[in-house]
Amino acid sequence: MPFWRLLPAGLGLWLLAAHFLRGGHVLLAAALAAAPAGLLLRTPVSRRILQAALAAGALVWLTTAVRLTASRREEGRPWARMAAILAGVAAVNVAGAALLEGRSGQAWFASNPGAD
């Protein structure tokens, strides 16, 4: 699997870590910041855990977008650019999970070089 196909997963997890750090959830942020190390484990379990975290992250971004959009619209402030950015970040999480599910993602996690 080319390295660039792992980038959306790592980036999505780091962006989610930054989101939770900004919200004051330091332990969760630390866990999410360390989560891309699971890409190096190359086990089927780590693949599923990463996919679950990325899927949950996409939901977090979408609910945040809905909440902030409603708040900004109510206040009469611009909201479209913010909503587009948060939708893009959610798409990064979905892309990361999808790339881990694809054929090359399955091959990456099936071939564990440390198991021999």
With beta carbons less than 8 A apart as the criterion, state whether 44 and 107 touch: no
- Does 97 map to a domain? yes
The secondary structure of 50-94 as a DSSP string is HHHHHHHHHHHHHHHHHHHHHHHHHHT---HHHHHHHHHHHHHHH
Q: What is the mean pLDDT of the chain?
A: 93
How many structural domains are present in the chain? 1
Whether residue 66 is contained in a domain is answered as yes
How far apart are the C-alpha atoms of 97 and 56, rounded to whole Å? 10
pLDDT tens digit sequence for 13-43: 999 999 999 999 999 999 999 999 999 999 9
Task: State which H helix or E strand residue 8 sits in.
Answer: helix 7-22
Compute the distance between CA of residue 47 and CA of residue 74 in angstroms, rounded to an integer.
41
Residue ranges making up the domain that contains 77 = 3-111
Threshold 0.75, pTM exceeds: yes
* 96 found inside a domain: yes
116 within domain boundaries: no
